Structure 1
Amino acid sequence: MSSSSLLLFEGKLDFPNPERLWNIITKYKVEKLLLNIDSTRLLMENEIDMSNVSARSLKVIFTVFTNQEDTVMASEWIKNTFPMAKHIAIVY
């Protein structure tokens, strides 16, 4: 699975623990991540200790929102949490 070009994740991002998504990103060296507003809010609210997690493989984080305010909020969080990743916001 580590040589896959696409990794699909279905289910709760924080079950059974808040680090679940970051463990998958680390294990499979995920480079691109697509998040909707609910997932983004969940991740921001959990305030996970990222010192135990390596998300260095993330190069691009895509977010999909319905308004500009959510985009600004997510952009700031991504910039602070993942300074090496490029953020691409899609507003529809």
Structure 2
Amino acid sequence: MSQSALPTRRFATIPKVAELNQCDPGTVYNRVKKGDLPVFKLPGKRGHYVDVDEAAKVLSKRQKYATFGPDAVVKDLSNVVADFEVMD
């Protein structure tokens, strides 16, 4: 009887997970704080680590823009070359 090998879990620090998922470390910390993403203490390591694959799944579901409600229309002008004025 052959025993199949378990996949190797990959762990990284919160800043590294943020870098891999192209987001701010604060976003990862917030998902941990909300309970959406567990952190792990690893034997022989200091600090907290996040499962890289699990983080990718959780962070891929994040909203790119603020939540305004289900009927809101958000138009992304960040890649538009045009003249416009922003009044703060």
TM-score by length of 2: 0.23
Task: Name the one with the larger strand percent.
Answer: 1
TM-score by length of 1: 0.22
